[in-house]
Structure 1
Amino acid sequence: MNARVAHYARLASISADTVEGLSIEQIESGLRSGAFTCQQLISAYTARIEAYDQQGPMLNAIINMNENAKAEAAELDKKQRSGAALGAAHCVPVVVKDVINTDDMPTTNGSELFKNWIPDSNATVINRLEEQGAIVLAKTNLDDFAAAVYGISSLKSAMKNPYDLTRTVGGSSGGSAAAIAAQYAPLAIGTDTGGSLRIPAALTGVVTIRPTMGLVSAHGIFPRALTQDTAGPLAATVKDAATGLDFIAGYDPADPVTARSVGKIPAEGYASFAKGGRLDGVKIGLVTGGLAIWGDQPKGPVVALLRKAAEDIEALGGEVVEIAGPPKSLLGGSSVITFESARDVNKFLAEQGGNVPVTTFRGLYDSGKYSPYAKESYDREIKIDPDALNNNVDYQRSLAMRTALQDWTLDTMAKNGFAAIAYPSSAQLADLIGKEQAGLFSRWSENTGFPAISVPMGYAKSKTGTYMPANIEFLGRAFDEPAIIHIASAYENSTKKRVEPALPEIATLATP
């Protein structure tokens, strides 16, 4: 029994304070040893959300709580007492981005239009989690329909950064990232089409993995562009993020793209590669600028942290070689979100049954029930004829550019012997709420479909004097998640850069 679990064994019960810092492994160990029950664990995390989300710092990371969570926990406790086999995710509390369908609670997509909509069926990732015993504790806030990266929804307004309540969490998976930073759960599931996992992870100092396209099913998730959309885990550590990937990865007949993953998933699981250790013989390319749409800041505080991270990697035996990033024409011309959005939303809505609030992208657009930030995207996307993409020269050019970017990346890695390429997920710290975040380096992974892991690399002083987190991102070849998980874990374990945000004591927030 490890020290933390032994500590819980001496407690009358687990609490909203004592769940702080618990890993998935520690949760599983504590449950199986009898240090606490599933009901006690779920009650503790629920109390923590109640303490921090709508009172005290009012992080606004959560849209809806799962009212059945405690009953589900009671059933899992009953199952454990009976001696039945327990799932790999037994009683793991998970918070889920609210574009992921759940058939027992609303999936709002962050919009008033879908506020009360309960889908007929779960997304595949939800079924996978629940089949393994996980409990969906809550649905998290997000930019409307995942169509922006401001960290603001029209339904629940702005999410707040736990490190500085005046600053953004980014988007669109901002609620999921903030929930992990504030330790509402050990695991969150978000989505990423154009940086929506890695941007908020970097701005809130948590770990995320954007998987290879085809590793995780997109079935039952409101789409942005299906050739770039993927779900992925967020967690406080590389091992917990890798464990989350183990829970949700694999072939799904409802999403034929996942057939690419057959034979590519390691039998020992992704978490087994999060074992720390050295990086002897591992060569990594380092890109410090030229990737952001705007606001690179090559001499800013984030790049200074990146160079220190490179030194730390070399201290582990790795070799870091600074290189230039891809030609801007490839990086900038290979996104297909604008082209695919209307087509993929139409298909998704047509599959949702009779109770869906609107049935077409045009109906969604005309409703106007989304934030002005999402409108910036939708105003572009409504101009695209979704039925004429085969004849859309600009779309076909972007697809060709994607292939060229993939080839450029693989060729660069092969010529230099790189196991991964590293860069900051964002070259600038979290900006003030409502500002357009500058310095985002997130396009390389989504425009190639290659996997990336974003992990904390330290903190820098903002213009207002608060210390804000920054992340390093490691990009790998398709289905080479084990390699980048190993690199990120070795770096994380040796540097221990992550520091939890200084939230107020829960006792001081208690309502009289």
Structure 2
Amino acid sequence: MVKSAWKKTSYLLLTLVMTTVLPFSAAASNSAASEKNKHLDLTVATIPDIQKALHTGQLTSQELIQYYLKRMDAYDQKGPKLNSIIYINPHAMEEAKKLDEERKQKKIRGPLHGIPIILKDNFDTADMPTTGAAQALKGSIPPDDAFLTKKLRDAGAIILAKSNLHELARSGTTVSSLAGQTLNPYDLTRTPGGSSGGTGAAIASHFAVAGMGTDTVNSVRSPSSANNLVGFRPTRGLLSRDGIIPAALTQDTAGPITNTVTDAAVMLDVLAGYDPADIETAWSVGHIPKTYTDSLKEDGLKGKRLGVLKTLFGSEAKHQEVNQVMEQAIEDLKKQGAEIIYLDVPELDVDKLASETDVQVYESKPLINNYLETLGEDAPVKNVAELLAAGVHPTIEQGLKDAQALENPMEMPEYKNRLVKRQENRDLVMKVMADQQLDALVYPHQKELVVKIGDSQTGRNGMLAAGTWFPALTVPGGFSTPTVTAPLGVPVGIEFLGRPWSEPTLFEIGYAYEQATKHRKMPHSTP
């Protein structure tokens, strides 16, 4: 078991590692790099680009790890002090060396061979702590990897670090009792969204090639919107939830957080599939294409019918910055050949959806208790009662107390009524899309900009996907007006929602929009 000073120790190990490998710094990648590296800009390179460089010997995985470790060292606890990383894998360089040797022997594990990935710290890792960013779980190491952790490793990925999250993935501003507040690299006065905000801030700042988050209501797509990234919430059952600290399994899913739609498609190729330990994934059989990358078409918007869901746009002054970005985004969609249909469906107001269908309070206690049991005798706490007694961040305390107070919550009539209402909403969305012959719905992921630190995030539209189990892809839509604290402006994400198992269609739409607009830019605070 890792001792209490494990975070400090991991940074010490980082410093030691950085003195023993060939230099490949952020600056070197752009200016004074060696001849073999000078043409590869890792700030814009996709996973296939990096794999090509690795295959040709232009780059090694060890150099790649070194590059990202140096960026973490410069920006996470120094410089802007983003505070996005909880734990750094002390064996990352050793793993990279092994993968480099395998590559020389033409033993390629998969599409992520030698690629550094950051995991939100609610994915089980048998060789590193998994804490949910809770002080009460500090140093807790699960008995085995989460199913998706194993899939990533089997595909050759290196789990470089574990990232901060809003404690136990229960809210949207990424603050926790274990690691504190993570900052948004585009505006250091704002949050990075949440709950997967640590992954969002880290990937936006190029601390790894790609990352993983979880999404119970908004939590993959919120930090993607707030950090100018691509976030994907898949159809329920496409990705396993086994070995992930749960919030509400009715709504929980994992999803990639990446710089590009290409990388999201590559990640989904690795992650999707049946897991006998998660019965919901049985529904994915027959719905997974040979590769999602076949859908990456620059003309993917041509002929698509997109329904702009006006219900999910705000009308107050605080919403106008987002609305302006969305107006331009809609024009860009039209220019790429999409047909736009404006819709007003009051029944799909997200506040209404949340109040009628969110089941977190009913599922939290039994699911968290069950997860803690899987940790065995070494579990720092055994149940929600002990978790509360040990202390949690004030932003999630009342919610856990409400959950703890319920006896047999999943047998309560209100819980069952909410499950019925969810099905009614699924039918409604399917009817709207069928009546209008739509390929996808379109709306801003957040009606208003990501909030200042200390405020609660309102106006998020993630419940539409979370409450219906439909897939949703969030991509960079542009920026608000630049300010002193946000020199580029604050990122705004545009979201596309499709029918169940329509991931290929969403990738067609998202990729075509991304290639036509190219809104992805590096944060000013992490050059």
Q: If the length of structure 2 is used for normalisation, what is the TM-score?
A: 0.89
Q: 1:378 aligns with which of 389, 397, 400?
A: 400
Shift of 1:363: 2.0
User: What secondary structure does 1:208 align onto?
Assistant: strand
Question: Which residue in 1 is equivalent to 2:301?
Answer: 279
Shift of 1:48: 1.2
Task: Within 5 Å, give how 1:314-393 maps onto structure 2.
Answer: 314-327=334-347, 328=349, 329-330=352-353, 332-368=355-391, 370-385=392-407, 387-390=408-411, 392-393=412-413
Taking the aligned partners of 1:291 and 1:360, their CA distance within structure 2 comes to: 40
1:358 and 1:10, CA in 2 relative to 1: closer, same or farther beyond 3 A?
closer
Q: Deviations over 1:252-279 (max 9, x none)?
A: 0111111010110011x11221232242
User: What secondary structure does 1:133 align onto?
Assistant: coil
272-281 or 117-126, which deviates more: 272-281
Shift of 1:376: 3.4
Shift of 1:349: 1.7
Taking the aligned partners of 1:291 and 1:254, their CA distance within structure 2 comes to: 39
Task: Within 5 Å, give how 1:388-427 maps onto structure 2.
Answer: 388-390=409-411, 392-427=412-447
Question: Which residue in 2 is equivalent to 1:252?
Answer: 275
Question: Which residue in 2 is equivalent to 1:26?
Answer: 49
Say if 2:321 is the partner of 1:301. yes
Taking the aligned partners of 1:237 and 1:190, their CA distance within structure 2 comes to: 15
Q: Deviations over 1:271-330 (max 9, x none)?
A: 2212322422211111234478xx866851101211211111111111111112451444
Taking the aligned partners of 2:298 and 2:423, their CA distance within structure 1 comes to: 34
Letter aligned with residue 460 of structure 1: S
1:342 and 1:10, CA in 2 relative to 1: closer, same or farther beyond 3 A?
closer
Taking the aligned partners of 1:388 and 1:226, their CA distance within structure 2 comes to: 14
Shift of 1:333: 0.6
1:410 and 1:41, CA in 2 relative to 1: closer, same or farther beyond 3 A?
same
Letter aligned with residue 91 of structure 1: G
Q: Which runs of 5+ in 2 are unaligned?
A: 1-28
Q: 2:510 aligns with which of 488, 504, 508?
A: 488
Taking the aligned partners of 2:498 and 2:50, their CA distance within structure 1 comes to: 30
Question: Which residue in 1 is equivalent to 2:202?
Answer: 179
1:377 and 1:50, CA in 2 relative to 1: closer, same or farther beyond 3 A?
same
Letter aligned with residue 513 of structure 2: Y
Question: Which residue in 2 is equivalent to 1:508?
Answer: none
Shift of 1:373: 0.8
Taking the aligned partners of 1:498 and 1:381, their CA distance within structure 2 comes to: 40
Q: If the length of structure 1 is used for normalisation, what is the TM-score?
A: 0.92
Conserved 8 A contact 1:21-1:183: no
Taking the aligned partners of 1:384 and 1:476, their CA distance within structure 2 comes to: 35
Taking the aligned partners of 1:138 and 1:333, their CA distance within structure 2 comes to: 37
1:81 and 1:313, CA in 2 relative to 1: closer, same or farther beyond 3 A?
same
Taking the aligned partners of 2:41 and 2:78, their CA distance within structure 1 comes to: 19
Say if 2:61 is the partner of 1:41. no
User: What secondary structure does 1:169 align onto?
Assistant: coil
User: What secondary structure does 2:480 align onto?
Assistant: strand
Shift of 1:351: 2.0
Letter aligned with residue 389 of structure 1: M
Aligned residues: 493
Conserved 8 A contact 2:132-2:169: yes
215-224 or 47-56, which deviates more: 47-56
Letter aligned with residue 501 of structure 2: F
User: What secondary structure does 1:461 align onto?
Assistant: coil
User: What secondary structure does 1:31 align onto?
Assistant: helix
Letter aligned with residue 461 of structure 1: T
Q: 1:478 aligns with which of 487, 500, 505?
A: 500
RMSD between superposed Cα atoms in Å: 2.1
Shift of 1:8: 11
User: What secondary structure does 1:145 align onto?
Assistant: helix
Taking the aligned partners of 1:477 and 1:285, their CA distance within structure 2 comes to: 13
Question: Which residue in 1 is equivalent to 2:22?
Answer: none
User: What secondary structure does 2:507 align onto?
Assistant: helix
